[in-house]
Amino acid sequence: MTGLTLDLLLMQVLTGIALGSIYALLALGLCLIFGMLTVVNFAHGAFFMVGAFLGVYFLGLTGNFWFSLIIVPLITGILGLITERFLIRPLYGRGLDYPLLLTFGLSYVLIEAMRVIFGIEGLPSITPSGLSGSLHVGIGYFPKYRLFLIAVTALIILALWLFIQKTRYGLIIKAGSRDQEIVQVLGVDVAKVWLLVFGLGTAIAGLSGILASPTRSVNPEMGIPILAESFVVTVVGGMGSTVGAVVAGLLVGIVYSLTSLFAPEFAELSIFVLMAVVLLIRPQGLFGKAGLMS
């Protein structure tokens, strides 16, 4: 390819890491919910979309990106708490299909709600002041916001790891994802833990939405393709594996970005090819455990 240089390849990899950061965050939320509740949350992309809309709305209303970054995960997290308590909890014990179908229907309810409130055309994306423009990173100029996206994602992942590894609730979540009966025998109210996990997972989805909103079109259908892509990441990394979600998210982002450079028409297809190759070699995913879905 004429004009192909090492710097160009490295810039494309950096772009892929920025994209993969969003994938990793979304997949983390999915993995938390599935690992603890064994719920395949098909409304995850819709919560991502709601987060993007609320982020753009509050940013336009207040002009304060940091306020939006705090309030949006809180709102989507509360929506998640309500969803788990009143919609999903009655379906526990009935098999994977029931919550899957319910969250699938819920996603369309949220899409229609955003259409009614904000219109079918959506909202224009806004890059926060101070994070617009580019910065020289040694190999060329790279958008400041994408660098911020990489940095804030790393901080969120670190904070989530510390929460799971170092706090009482985090250790309960970790233990419950492996053996819920033992946690119940120890006197832990598992229902409260389920509520916390689902709320945390949807809060992460909303946070992913506001972080992604300056880089893509904010419209009611934006959660549909990102849901499929985040499930690809979850499957590649291994269902229920938080480490797998992070590694696979970055890997999928880089594969998509590099394919966009060499063969743009195959960029969307490339991540599904990656998933197929991984499943052929390791059916449970890179970090998953065999038999988790059984």
Query: What are the chain's domains?
Result: 12-281 (1.10.3470)
Beta bridge partners, 142, equal 135
The predicted structure's pLDDT at residue 3: 67
What rounded mean pLDDT belongs to the chain? 91
The predicted structure's pLDDT at residue 36: 80
- Lookup: tokens for 175: 């233990």
Whole-number Å distance between alpha carbons of 195 and 197: 6
**pLDDT score of 184 more than 80:** no
The predicted structure's pLDDT at residue 291: 57
3-state secondary structure of 137: coil
pTM of the model: 0.93
The predicted structure's pLDDT at residue 1: 53
- pLDDT band, residue 179 (cuts 50/70/90): low
The predicted structure's pLDDT at residue 223: 95
Q: How many CB atoms lie within 10 A of CB 180?
A: 17
pLDDT in tens, 32-71: 898 888 899 999 999 999 999 999 999 999 989 999 999 9
To the nearest whole percent, how much of the chain has pLDDT over 70? 95
The predicted structure's pLDDT at residue 49: 97
The predicted structure's pLDDT at residue 64: 92
pLDDT in tens, 97-108: 999 999 999 999
**pLDDT score of 178 more than 90:** no
Do the Cβ atoms of 33 and 270 come closer than 8 Å?
Answer: no
Give 32-67 as a 3 state SS string.
Answer: HHHHHHCCCCCCHHHHHHHHHHHHHHHHHHHCCHHH
Whole-number Å distance between alpha carbons of 284 and 242: 14
- Lookup: tokens for 186: 């120890």
Mean pLDDT of 195-221: 94
Do the Cβ atoms of 267 and 256 come closer than 8 Å?
Answer: yes
